[in-house]
């Protein structure tokens, strides 16, 4: 089992270009796994972890409802935003500057073959990260992601998650609202959930956070929880 992960920070990159890149990495791994089975080989599969910031974009998951996007095509252009229907789970979300997006493309057969556990460990990675800033994150039953003040009238989401997997290889991932402009969430019903707000680390702390510092903390907790040998840049 290969528990090394190749780490790449893409900086600011177009959503569609990143989606295509993720797909290429996933397919390369899937192809190795198919070849191993057909030819009775044991070639090692790779794992990847991408960090990225996207320009303003709304994405709708395969089970999502178009009515949760509250903008028409012209209004999207006015906001400088794009829109894509994509192949992850979940409904609609927003990505934009100041948001830390992480895409683990892992062969879970190198770690464990349990999608539920995978999602819970992704959530725990973020919960432990924001706890270092004094923010108490938690889970909301039946609603993937990381939330604050669950069970109160002030429940709000700080990190959205949605994934896809093929032959135990993952893609897509999480979007942590660090210094993001929360006004862009007003144009959607986030994750298709009415009546719950969205927040950010900046909004909770009253100041911007250092994105590179937050990424370092994410990797630290991810490495521990997933029992990663090392990240290779």
- Catalytically annotated residues: 191
Cα dihedral sign, 55-61-62-64: negative
- The answer to the question of whether 89 is labelled as a binding residue is yes
Q: Any known ligand binding at 155? A: no
- Tokens for 104? 């683990």
199 a known binding residue?
no
> Is 103 labelled a binding residue?
no
Annotated ligand binding at 92? The verdict is yes
> Cβ(94)–Cβ(57) under 8 Å?
yes
Residue 183: count other Cβ atoms within 10 Å of its Cβ. 10
Check whether 126 is labelled as a binding-site residue: no
Does 142 count as an annotated binding residue? no
Q: Is 61 marked as binding a ligand?
A: no
Concatenate the DSSP letters of all residues of 126-194 into one string: HHHHHHTTT---EEETTEEEEEESTTSTT-EEEEEEEEEEETTEEEEEEEEESS--GGGGGGB-GGG-T
Please report where in the chains the tokens 């909770």 appear, as a residue. Answer: 204
Give the DSSP per-residue string, 55-96: SSEEEE-TT--GGGB---HHHHHHTT-EEEE-SSSSSEEEE-
135-141 — which CB contacts under 8 Å span 24+ positions? 135/201, 135/204, 135/205
- The verdict on whether residue 222 carries a ligand-binding annotation is no
Whether residue 209 contacts residue 132, with contact meaning beta carbons closer than 8 Å, is answered with no
Whether residue 178 is annotated as binding a ligand: the answer is no
In which order are the strands placed within the sheet that holds 57-60? 82-85, 57-60, 92-95
Binding-site residues from annotation for substrate: 88-95, 160-162, 173-175
Binding-site residues from annotation: 88-95, 160-162, 173-175
């Amino acid at each position: 089992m290969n528990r090394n992960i190749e780490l790449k920070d893409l900086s600011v990159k177009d959503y569609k270009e990143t989606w295509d890149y993720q797909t290429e990495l996933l397919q390369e791994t899937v192809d190795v796994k198919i070849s191993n089975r057909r030819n009775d080989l044991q070639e090692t599969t790779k794992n990847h972890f991408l960090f990225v910031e996207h320009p303003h974009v709304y994405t709708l998951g395969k089970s999502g409802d178009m009515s949760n996007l509250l903008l028409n095509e012209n209004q999207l252009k006015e906001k400088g935003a794009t829109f894509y229907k994509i192949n992850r789970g979940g409904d609609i979300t927003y990505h934009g500057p100041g948001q830390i997006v992480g895409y683990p493309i892992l062969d879970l057969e190198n770690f464990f073959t349990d999608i539920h556990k995978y999602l819970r460990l992704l959530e725990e990675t973020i919960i432990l990260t924001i706890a270092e800033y004094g923010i108490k994150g938690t889970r909301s039953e039946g609603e993937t992601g990381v939330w604050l003040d669950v069970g109160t009238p002030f429940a709000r989401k700080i990190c959205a998650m949605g994934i896809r997997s093929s032959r135990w290889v993952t893609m897509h991932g999480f979007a942590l609202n660090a210094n993001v402009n929360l006004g862009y969430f007003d144009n959607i019903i986030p994750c298709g959930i009415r009546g719950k707000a969205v927040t950010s680390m900046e909004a909770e702390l009253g100041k911007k956070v250092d994105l590179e510092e937050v990424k370092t903390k994410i990797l630290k907790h991810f490495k521990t929880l997933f029992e990663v040998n090392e990240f290779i840049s």
